A and B are shown apart, each in its own frame.
Chain A
Amino acid sequence: MDYASLSANLLFVSFIAYLAGTFFFGGAVKSSKTEKSYKDSMWGKIGIVITIIGFVSQLGYFITRWMASGHAPVSNMFEFTTAFSMMLVGAFILIFFIYKTPSLGLFALPIAIVIIAYASMFPREITPLIPALKSYWLTVHVITAAIGESILAISAVAGLIFLAKNIDLTKKSKERFWLEAVMFTIVLVLGFVVSSTAFSLSGYEADFNYIDKNEQPAKITYNYPPLFGMHDYEQVTTDTMKPWFEMPSIVNAKTLTTFVWSVASGIVLYLLLRLIFRRPIAALLQPFAKKANSQLMDEIGYRSVLIGFPVFTLGALIFAMIWAQEAWSRFWGWDPKEVWALITWLFYAAFLHLRLSQGWEGKKSAWLAVAGFVIIMFNLIAVNLIIAGLHSYA
C-alpha cells in the first residue's frame, strides 16, 4: 500500500475509534453512581484507551500524508480541518490525564467526529504547494495555530458541559434557548455532511457557464441541485434542474446553494430528532453532563484558555506575522483571516480580563468559552468560504 492510501485508511480507523470512544465514555457516565466510581470507571479506562488508539491512528494519517506529499498536511481546508480535529482529541487526552473526566470525552469526541466529517466534504486529493505556501512557516504557523485553537476549543467543551448541567431545562429561559441553539448549529453541520454525502454518492453534477465579477466568462460545477444560478448563467448540463433565482455577480450562487441545502437538511434532521426523542437535544444530553463536577468544568474551561491562549498567540499572531513579513512583505495587512485571528485573540483577552477582575465565573465564563469557539469556527468556515481573502486556498 502506498502512503497516500495508507493515510486515508488510518483516518478512517481513527474516525471509527472516536465513535467507539464516545460510546464508552457514555457508559462511564451512565454506569457510575458517585464521583469516585465515575473517575475510576472501567468504561472510562477503555474509552481513553480507544481514544488514544484513534489519536495514534490519526497521527499516523498525518505523518503518512506528510510523507506522501512532502509537505505538512495543513495546506487546504480538508487537511487543516482534519489536523484541527486531531489536535482537539490530543488536547482532550492531555486534559483527561490531568482531571480524569469521562464527561469531557463524551462531549469532545463527538465534536471531533463532526469536524472530521465536515472536513471530508472538501476535496481530499493531495495537492502540490502553490508558491505562496512554499515555506517552512506553513508547518510552523499552521500547526501552532491549530494546537492553540484546539486547546481553546476544549474550554468550549467544558463550558458546554457546565451549561448542560447547570441550566434548568424545565423552565423557559434565554439560556435554555441559546443552549438549544448551539445544539441546533451542530445539527446543521451534520445536515451539511449528510446532504453533501448523499448528493456526491448519487454522483450529481450540474455544469454552468457564467460571467464572473470581473466580467469574464467562467465555468462552474454544482454538486447540489442548483437552487441559485450564478450571474448571467447558461446551463450546460440539460437534464438537471433549472435554478430558481439568478444571483448578482458578487454572490457565489454555488456556495449559497450548498448553504441552503445544508440548512434545509439540518432543519429536517433536527425536526426528526425532536420527533423521535420528543425532547430538546440539550435535554437529551443533560443526564450525561450531570455527573461532571461543575467547579472542575469551570476550572478546566479556564485552564484550557490559559494554556491555549499563549499557544494561539504564538501560532496565529506572532508566527503568522513573521511569515506574512517574509511572503507578503508586510507582517500585517488587515486581510480578513488576519483580522479574525486578531478578533479571536481580543475575545479571549476580554475573557481573561472579565474573569480576573470582574469575577465572571461559572455560567458567564462558560458562555464566553462557547462564544470563543463560535468565533474560531467562524474564522475557519465563514471567512474561508464566504469572505475571500489571501487565505482562501481551499
Chain B
Amino acid sequence: MSKIKCQCGHENPFGTVLCEKCGRPLTEEAKDSSMVDMRYEGSARRSQTYKKSIIDKIWNFFSSVKIGVSIIIAVLSTSALGTILPQKFYVPVNGNDPNAYLDYYERLYGTFGKIYYHLGLYDMYNSWWFKILIGMLGTSIIIASLDRVIPLYKSLKKQRTKRHPSFMKRQRIYGEEPVVNPDESLVNAEKALKDMHYNVKTEDGAILAEKNRFGRWGPYVNHTGLIIFLLGVLMRGLPGFYVDETMWIREGETREIPGAPGYLLENVAFTVETYDKESADAVFGEALDKNGAIVSNFQSDVKLYKEKENSLPGSEDVEFIKEYPIVVNKPLKFDGYSIFQMDYKTGELSKMKFALLNKETQKSLGEFTVDLNEPAKKYDLGSGSSIQLMEYYADYDGIVDGEPVSKSPVPNNPAFIFNMITPEHPEGEKSFVAIQQTLEVEPNDYEVKFQSVESRNASGLTIRKDKTLYILLLGGIVFMIGVIQGSYWQHRRIWIQKGEGSEMMVAAHTNKNWYSLKKDIDKVKETAALPAYTDKQDKDTAADTMEGETV
C-alpha cells in the first residue's frame, strides 16, 4: 500500500482523509463535501488499511464500531429474554435434577415455560453463546480502541498550527471576512484565548488554540476499565480465586466452614426481630396497621474458631478467633472470606421433656429431658428409678423388616425405645415412644409421658471469597475516570489565520458541546476583531438571522 503525499509535502498513511499536517482533504469525497468528518481527525484507521489474510479480516470485523454496536444490541436484547421468567438460580428446586426444573417451569408457566426451558433460556447467562457474546464484546472493545487511539494520537501530535484554507472552510464553524487590522486582531485573540486557558500556538499569521485534548482519551481509558473488569470476571474461574458455598448450621452446633478449610463456626443463637406498634416509632404506626408485623432484623450470633497451626482436619485442637453478630448487610469477614446471613429455619426440635408415670395412679416418679442431638444412655430419676435409652430414631419412618428406621439424622419425628426401671421393676419395662404413639410388648405398669418440647433455629449462611473483587473495583474506577474524562471535558480547537490581504478566517471544532465553543469564540470577539462565523448545522439560527436577529 502506498503512502499518500499531500501537496504540503507530508506523507500520510494509506486511508487518510485529511492530511495529518495541514488538513487538506485528500479523498475525492472529502474534497466535494462542505463539511469534513473530524471524528478521528480524518486519520487512517488501521483496520481499513489492509484486507488480505484471514487474520486481517477477523481483525477488521472486530474493529468496526458498527459491529461493536451490533454486539451491544445483541447482548442487550438477549439479556432481556432472560428476565421474562425467573432464572434457574432463583427457582426453588432442590438438587440439580434437570427434570425437576423442567417440571417447575411447566407447572407454573405451561407450554411457554417448557419452551423457555428447552431453549436453555432458564439458565441463559451461563450458556455458551452468551459467554461467547460477552467475549466478542471484549474483543471488539480492545481491537476497535487500538485501531483508533494510535492514529488519533499520532495525528493530534503531528497537527500544524497553520492549516490549509480548504481545511478551515470545511469545518462546521467557519467564517471569513476582511478586518481592519488583522495583525492586531491576532494579538488580541491570542491574549483572550490564553485568558480562557487555551493552549495557544502561533505560526506565520495563524493561531491554533486548543483546550482539553486529554478528553479525547476518555473513551480509551474507559474501555481499558471495562477490559480490566472483564478480566477480573474471567479470573474467578481460576482455582482458589473464588469460593461460593452455603451452610446450614443449627443453634448450638459447631461446623467446619465449607470452602474455608481450617475455620469452624459455632452458631450461638439465631434471632428474628420485628417492628411492633409498642416499640417502633409512631410514624410507622400506619404502615404496621396495614401490613402487620414487619421484620426488622435477622441475626446469627456466631463464634469463629480456627484449627491451630499444623493441626489436621478433624482434630479438636482449635483456637477462638472472634464472636460476631451476622446480620443482613453486615457479613462476618475474616481472611478474605465473608459469611452472609441468607436464610433461616425455625422450630426444629432440640429437646424433649418426659415424665415417668404410674399408669394407674398417674403419679410421677420424676422428669427427664432428652437432648435430641446428643442423647444420653441413662437418665437417673432418683429413689431407685431411672430411664435407660435403648434406641433413638431421629426421623422415625415406620418399621422395616421388624426394625424401626430413621430416614435422616434430623429430629423431625423423634421416636425412642425406653427401658423404665422402677423399684417394682428393677429389670425394667420396655416401651416404644413416638409422637402421639406408644407401643408396648406386654402391658406395662409405667409409662413415659411427653411433657414439653424445646426447639431451636438454624441459620442459612453463604460463604464467599472473591479475590477478584479488587480487580473489578479497579476496573470500575478506571472506567469512571475514563467516562468522566471523556464526557465532562470537551476537546476544543479554534483556528484563526490571516488570508489574502485583510481577510481573516476563523474555524473551530469540538468533539462535543458546540454551544460552549461558540460562546468561547464570542468572548474572543469581544476584544479581537474576528469575522462573523456560521454554524453549518444550526439551520434554525440561520433562519432567525435572516429575519434580522442574531444570537
Contact = CB atoms under 8 A, between A and B. Distances in A.
Given A132-B328, A132-B329, A353-B72, A310 B287 contact: no
Contacts of B54: none
A361 B294 CA distance: 51
User: Which of B244, B327, B515 has the most chain A CB atoms inside 10 A of its CB?
Assistant: B515
B464 A330 contact: yes
B129 interface: no
Interface stretch (B78-86, B390-398, B436-444): B78-86
A331 interface: yes
Interface in B293-308: 294-298
B515 A99 contact: yes
Interface string A375-394: 00000000100010100000
A131 B329 contact: yes
Given A303-B512, A310-B484, A339 B464 contact: no
Interface in A293-344: 293-296, 299, 302-303, 306-307, 309-310, 313-314, 318, 321-322, 325-331, 333-336, 339-340, 342-343
Interface in B268-305: 275, 280-281, 283-284, 286-288, 290-291, 294-298
Nearest to B515: A299
B75 A346 contact: yes
A249 interface: yes
User: Which of A3, A248, A299 has the most chain B CB atoms inside 10 A of its CB?
Assistant: A299
B87 A334 contact: yes
A286 to B, nearest CB: 15
A131 B69 contact: no
A358 B515 contact: no
Given A314-B480, A339-B82, A340-B83, A357 B39 contact: yes
B76 A350 contact: yes
Interface stretch (A47-55, A113-121, A122-130, A183-191): A122-130
Nearest to B472: A331
Contacts of B281: 69-70, 128
B464 A295 contact: no
A274 interface: no
A34 B544 contact: yes
Interface stretch (B180-188, B196-204, B420-428, B531-539): B531-539
Contact of A131 (B280, B328, B512): B328
User: Which of B65, B110, B487 has the most chain A CB atoms inside 10 A of its CB?
Assistant: B487
A321 B93 CA distance: 26
A127 B284 contact: yes
A232 interface: no
A347 interface: yes
B66 A126 contact: no
Interface string B32-69: 00000101000000000000000000000000011011
User: Which of A36, A353, A387 has the most chain B CB atoms inside 10 A of its CB?
Assistant: A353
Nearest to A331: B472
A328 B329 CA distance: 8
A349 interface: yes
A69 to B, nearest CB: 6
Contacts of B76: 343, 346-347, 350
A135 B469 CA distance: 20
A132 B84 CA distance: 24
A387 B80 CA distance: 11
Interface in B343-388: none
A131 B109 contact: no
Nearest to A68: B283
A314 B473 CA distance: 12
B328 A327 contact: yes
B80 A353 contact: no
Contact of B287 (A98, A126, A327): A126
B403 to A, nearest CB: 35
Contacts of A99: 515
Nearest to B75: A346
A329 B340 contact: yes
A248 B288 CA distance: 31
B128 interface: no
Contacts of A309: 483, 487
Nearest to B88: A334
A326 B466 CA distance: 12
Contacts of B334: none
B340 A328 contact: yes
Interface in B68-105: 68-69, 72-73, 75-76, 79-80, 82-84, 86-87, 89-90
Contacts of B462: 329
Given A310-B480, A314-B480, A353 B83 contact: no
B545 to A, nearest CB: 9
Nearest to B462: A329
B109 A250 contact: yes
B331 interface: yes
B538 A125 contact: no
Contact of A339 (B79, B290, B513): B79
Contacts of B167: none
A134 interface: yes
B488 interface: yes
A305 B372 CA distance: 63
A281 interface: no
A293 B512 contact: no
Interface in A353-368: 353-354, 356-359, 361
A346 B72 contact: yes
B435 interface: no
A13 interface: no
A2 B285 CA distance: 14
Interface in B452-470: 462, 464, 466, 469
A350 B69 contact: yes
A321 B476 contact: yes
B487 A130 contact: no
A343 B80 contact: yes
A78 to B, nearest CB: 12
A276 to B, nearest CB: 31
A350 B327 CA distance: 40
A342 B79 contact: yes
B238 interface: no
B65 A35 contact: no
Nearest to A248: B110
A303 B125 contact: no
A99 to B, nearest CB: 7
B125 to A, nearest CB: 5
A294 B294 CA distance: 52
A334 B484 CA distance: 27
Contacts of A129: 296
Contacts of B547: 34
B540 interface: yes
Contacts of B79: 339, 342-343, 346
Nearest to A362: B537
Which 8 pairs across A and B sit closest by C-beta, in order of nearness?
Answer: A295-B538, A131-B328, A125-B286, A127-B287, A357-B65, A336-B83, A306-B487, A329-B340
Given A333-B89, A340-B83, 8 more contacts: A36-B549, A98-B515, A128-B287, A130-B296, A131-B297, A250-B108, A339-B82, A346-B75
24 contacts: A34-B549, A68-B283, A69-B281, A123-B287, A126-B286, A132-B329, A134-B328, A213-B108, A250-B109, A293-B538, A299-B514, A306-B487, A310-B480, A310-B483, A313-B483, A318-B480, A333-B89, A336-B83, A343-B76, A343-B80, A346-B76, A350-B72, A350-B73, A387-B84
Interface of B: 37, 39, 65-66, 68-69, 72-73, 75-76, 79-80, 82-84, 86-87, 89-90, 108-110, 125, 219, 244, 275, 280-281, 283-284, 286-288, 290-291, 294-298, 327-331, 338, 340, 342, 462, 464, 466, 469, 472-473, 476, 479-480, 483-484, 487-488, 512-515, 535, 537-541, 544, 547, 549, 551
